[in-house]
Amino acid sequence: MLFEHIAELEKTYIEIGERINDPDIIANQEKWQSLIKEYNEIEPIVQKYDQYKNAVNTIKEAEELLNENDDEDFKALLKDELAENKNKIEVIEEELKILLLPKDDNDNKNVIIEIRAGTGGDEAAIFAGDIFRMYVRYAENRMWKTEVMSANESDLGGFKEIIFMVSGKGAYSRFKFESGVHRVQRIPSTESGGRIHTSTATVAVLPEADNVDVNIDMNDVRIDVFRASGNGGQCVNTTDSAVRVTHIPTGIVVSCQDEKSQFKNKDKALKVLYARLYKLEREKHDSAISEQRRSQVGKGDRSEKIRTYNFHQGRVTDHRAGITLYKIDAVINGDLDDIIDTLTAKEQAERLKYV
């Protein structure tokens, strides 16, 4: 059944490959883009299926030669080749099952990340800043763009809250596992007695949405402008450039004051609002949860952690993946792939149970 489905996909792939070179199709850019997207989605499956067929053909040829040959040394080589390709087929079959899993429509979207200081006072705000810089470095390693949407800095250099966007293909697919409470255990710079403190920061991850994903009646939106406060420069602090957007039906409020332009602040605030409402609607549909941030990060208590960063022991433990890495400096500098890859594999394994 699995390979019958893949064989049909292969036919579709070949047909689309012919159609995307048709001048009439190319002239219709909307249709052409749609076909290119479908072609690119099927291509990894077809390529993996080619590897499978090559392995099967190699096994058949080796078995035929094995039956026809009396040279024991040659037969030993053939048996090794048979065993290698049979193992290869098992691996490819599992990889094909993963490739055929239904895709999350959001995986290739840009992502909006909200980080807030949890328990721990000033140290929690400093830690929130550390997490922000960790994500920025991870994005830079993948050549993704980051843009701060809104920030509320603390007096000691961290953030009480920061909201930013990461733009790049597949950004949501990588960052979606970061939602939850992150816990840090270390001696704060403000601690004179050398005692280890435990603090938290909460992370919420939202796929970027637009008016195609969620429809907002602007009559339900109140937009207020006010004078920005805090850091931002003379122009920002002396003009009514800050914007507060309130979605009246849900009570969601988004403020933005980072830009000198009122229009840019409004645009950023609306992007965050769209993302929050989109996430809210998805969660209502999937699990009847109405408070989307609470479902991701709980209350920010120390016990509700998804990951612990222990600086004293030099380790990072992800409690969902069940792994501990003794390279905290690398992780805090954006080396997150080991953790994210493990979480991705675990999610795929869970989904395969129902295939």
Q: End-to-end CA distance of the chain, in Å?
A: 12
Asked: is 111-209+295-350 a CATH 3.10.20.30 domain? The reply is no
Q: Give pLDDT < 70 ranges for the chain.
A: 1, 190-193, 210-213, 229-239, 285-304, 354-355
Q: Give strand pairing partners of 324.
A: 317
Neighbours of 23 (CB within 10 A): 6
Q: What is the structure's pLDDT at 288?
A: 43
DSSP-assigned letter for residue 177? G
Question: What strands, in cross-sheet order, belong to the sheet with 242-247?
Answer: 221-226, 242-247, 252-256
Neighbours of 179 (CB within 10 A): 18
Asked: is 218-287 a CATH 3.30.160.20 domain? The reply is yes
DSSP-assigned letter for residue 231? S
Q: What is the structure's pLDDT at 300?
A: 46
Q: What is the structure's pLDDT at 290?
A: 37
Q: What is the structure's pLDDT at 38?
A: 87
Q: Quick check: helix, strand or coil at residue 275?
A: helix
Alpha helix stretches (DSSP H) within the chain: 2-19, 23-27, 29-68, 72-99, 122-141, 171-175, 234-237, 262-287, 292-297, 328-332, 337-352
Q: What is the structure's pLDDT at 19?
A: 92
**Which candidate, 188, 186, 180, places its Cα nearest to that of 154?**
188
What's the angle, vertex CA 78, arms to CA 73 and CA 83, rounded to 5? 125
The model's pLDDT over 146-205, given as tens digits with 9 standing for 90+, comes to 999 888 898 888 999 999 999 998 899 999 999 999 999 998 876 666 788 899 999 999
The model's pLDDT over 81-119, given as tens digits with 9 standing for 90+, comes to 899 999 999 999 888 888 888 777 788 889 999 999 999
Structure tokens at 258: 């980072």
